[in-house]
Amino acid sequence: MSDRLESLLNLLKKDPKDSFLIYGIALEYLSKKDFIKAEEYFKLLLQSDPKYVPAYMQYARLKENLNEIEEAKNLYRGGIKLAREQKDQHAAKEMEDFLNDLE
């Protein structure tokens, strides 16, 4: 386990509802190609903080890597809707581009 991942996991023990930490852990597992653990943390994040826009894009990218295309599309669609509600046009556009590449 990397020092960075270990540090994030230790911080999460102190603040288990910190969305930024959960997101960081998911990304660390994703970078290590540990897709099972990455998905576990993305799911945890979206359950505890369903309005955390960046998680939708990264989780959808993970689903693409697993060739679970319909699930990726659904995550992109949900993320686009949420990003628009939050007036985050940059995130919405980025996810729209990824979604369009899949369709």
Q: What percentage of the chain exceeds 90 in pLDDT?
A: 94
pLDDT in tens, 51-86: 999 999 999 999 999 999 999 999 999 999 999 999
Q: Which fold has domain 3-102?
A: 1.25.40
Cα 22 from chain centre? 9
**Cα(37)–Cα(23) distance, rounded to whole angstroms?**
12
Whether the pLDDT of residue 2 is over 80: the answer is no
Q: Where are the domains of the chain?
A: 3-102
Reading the block at residue 82, the tokens are: 């949420």
59 touches 42 (CB < 8 A):
yes
Task: Provide the 8-state DSSP code for 17.
Answer: T
Cβ neighbours around 10 below 10 Å, total: 10
